[in-house]
Structure 1
């Protein structure tokens, strides 16, 4: 079949790779000049099945209320005159019940485990280099109550097949000696030795190159204006716009047998053109990337700072801190208060690790759903599919979601046990 994939982030490029391997003729449309330049560009670097616990849980509403007035809060809601934001918020509250949170966690763990296995298989078969480290993820706590609450959560994950282990403070330092400076504030941790880390941007670029060699056609610098389709009928084209060599805007369309939307936070805007509503809202996250100054004091095990909701990953001769969540529409501006808080916490934990004068900041929009479950599968249009809404777990879920949706487009039953879309 001829398949058009809309979007060249982790989700789009992974999907294109598996579709091409299945024998399809694939074209990828991307508005940026290359792959992985939006949400996939400078994320936290974790392949973290251990982060499958949904944001929407019984404690979340009270934490959000507490953080409303704090400019540097881990999760900051900026109320706007935006019906989509308020609808998303109400559905987020609905997902906060214990029963829904448990069900969502189980689905996310299954997807994460499947995806991590697919990524490992892909890496073994292609030899892709992307600063990958397979030293696990250590989640450390600085609050006794939060650590106590993590113990039953870790047990639920073990029941679902994830090897998340409880660790003492001393064991945490043993796993990652670079935490020695923070020994006095760490009360315990959880460790998932099978989780990984790596540079998502490098991975996406490298896989796009392999996909192109396999015959996938990439059209960069091309905007998707809308889809053409009628209710209960097939989509019959996608309207495009691009600049020619003289800088003049040109318009046209592309037709295929199947269309796959992998446009992250922008997916709802496109799908609205054919009457489909997705509960996906952009959640801005920040990162800072720092050159390593002293390798003995920079972390090599990927870490999660629970109190500040930050992650740390070593990426070759750099290390990155990332996190925070800001619901502020499609705004991509860098908030200096939040950047300063991110850098300050990193320096507190690893004072000798990096050349902090050379730190570079970034912000990206994570496509979040109320219960953290991404949309993967078929819409009510028989030839229109989606792979979007992965929130903070796009790097973790990319390979598995791409493989599963490629199976669905190929007319196969996915191997993965997951609540796939079947007629959005």
Structure 2
């Protein structure tokens, strides 16, 4: 079949690769000049199956109320005259029950575990190099309440096959010695040895290169303007091409992987996707003192920050410079589609880095970035069929785009091909393999 993938982020790129591997003629369309240039560009860089507790959980409503109007809050709702934001917020509250939280953790862990296995398989097959580190991820807690609140979800994750081990503060320092100066502040930690980290943007570009060598066609610098249907199925996609001219493209199937912008194309078709942009921030800091900087990828659950480390010698052939940097990313701001940087929120991240790892980074050389994560109220992505013929979804991955990308890509490729997915997950437009329920709800 001819398949058009809309979106060249890490999710769209993985979809294209696996579709081509199943024998399809694949074209990827994206407005950027290179793959992975938006939300996949400078994110936290974790393959984090253990980061499976959704934002929507029983403790969230009171936290959100407490954080309203607090400029440096980890999760900030900037209330605005935006019906989509309010509807999303109401759905978010409905997902905060214990039962919904357990259900959503189950979906997130199943997809994450499968996806991590697929990524490792890809890395071995293709020889991908992307500053990867396979040293695990350490979640640490400086609040006893936050640590105690993590124990229940951690136990559930372990029961689902995610080996997230509860460790003492002393053991956390043994795993990551750079935490030693703050040993007295540590309430506890969890460690998942199988989790990984790396440069998501570099991974996306390397996978895109492999896909192109295998025959995938890339139409970069093209703006997708509309999907048109006829007779209950997609007839063509409308784009403004590289030369700024109107163009119609036809295929046998279309995969929508445009992240936060997916709802804009789906709504004219009568499909309302429960996705809202959650702006995340990242700070990239040159390492000043290697001994004081962390080596293991970290998650600071209280502040909703993740920490990764990139070190490589550079590549004269490509002009890629040598670097030794710390990448710190996280927080979420629900405030529409603007990507303006908040000086207060950027400063809060740098301040936390200095508190945890004093002197480790050259904060004067900090580089700031923001990206729009496509968040669903449940944190469970939308993968599968729609009620409109030929249109498929692989979107809504929120903070776990890279973690879930390879598993999502292989799954949607199988669904488009008429094959059953390889995992038990609440795919859209399909019965849940184990229970016959659990499909994502799309408003129509």
The normalised TM-score by structure 2 is 0.93
Distance 1:322 1:160, change over 3 A: same
Q: Does structure 1 residue 406 correspond to structure 2 residue 413? A: yes
1:202-213 alignment, distance < 5 Å: 202-213=202-213
Unaligned 5+ runs, structure 2:
312-323, 431-441
C-alpha contact (below 8 Å) 2:147/2:188 kept by paired residues: yes
Query: Please, which of 259, 263, 268 is the counterpart of residue 258 of structure 2?
Result: 263
Q: How far, CA to CA, are the matches of 1:19 and 1:69 in structure 2?
A: 45
Mapping for residues 241-320 of structure 1, pairs under 5 Å = 241-244=240-243, 249-316=244-311, 317-320=324-327
Q: Which moved more, 1:195-204 or 1:308-317?
A: 308-317
Cα deviation digits, residues 169-193 of structure 1 (max 9, x gap):
1100000011112212111101111
Tell me how far 1:307 sits from its aligned partner: 1.8
1:148 is aligned to: 148
Q: Is the partner of 1:71 in helix, strand or coil?
A: coil
Aligned to 2:371: 364
Deviation of the 1:295 alpha carbon: 2.0
- Give the SS at the match of 1:418: coil
Matched ranges for 1:20-169 at <5 A: 20-169=20-169
Tell me the distance in 1 between the aligned counterparts of 2:220 and 2:69. 41
Kept after mapping to 1: 8 A contact 2:220/2:242: no
SS in 1 for 2:291: helix
How far apart in 2 are the matches of 1:293 and 1:215?
Answer: 43
Q: Is 1:418 the counterpart of 2:425 in the alignment?
A: yes
Aligned pairs (5 A) from 1:350-361? 350-361=357-368
Displacement after TM superposition at 1:259 (Å): 0.3
Are 2:4 and 2:29, in contact at CA under 8 Å, matched by a contact in 1? yes
User: Do residues 330 (structure 1) and 337 (structure 2) align?
Assistant: yes
Once the two structures are superposed, residues 280-334 of structure 1 have per-residue CA deviations (whole angstroms, 9 ceiling, x without a partner) of 0000000000112222221111101122111100122211011111000001000
Displacement after TM superposition at 1:243 (Å): 4.2
Contact 2:298 2:306 in 1 (8 A): yes
Cα pair 2:69 2:78 within 8 Å, conserved:
no
> What's the offset of the Cα at 1:377?
0.3
Task: List alignment gaps of at least 5 residues for structure 1.
Answer: none
Distance across 1 between alignment mates of 2:397 and 2:249? 26
User: C-alpha offsets along residues 233-279 of structure 1, whole Å, 9 cap, x if unaligned?
Assistant: 220100000342xxxx2111110000000000000001112121100
2: CA distance, partners of 1:99 / 1:153: 12
Write the distance in 2 (CA, Å) between the matches of 1:308 and 1:344.
11
Q: Provide runs of 4+ in structure 1 moved above 3 Å.
A: none
- Aligned equivalents of 2:125, 2:138: Cα separation in 1: 28
Query: What is the rounded CA distance, in whole Å, between the counterparts of 2:251 and 2:69 in structure 1?
Result: 49
Segment of structure 1 superposing worse, 202-211 or 291-300: 291-300
Aligned pairs, how many? 419
Report the TM-score, using the length of structure 1 for normalisation.
0.97
Q: SS at the partner of 1:252?
A: strand
Match of 2:314 in 1: none
Please give the secondary structure, in 2, of the residue aligned with 1:385. strand
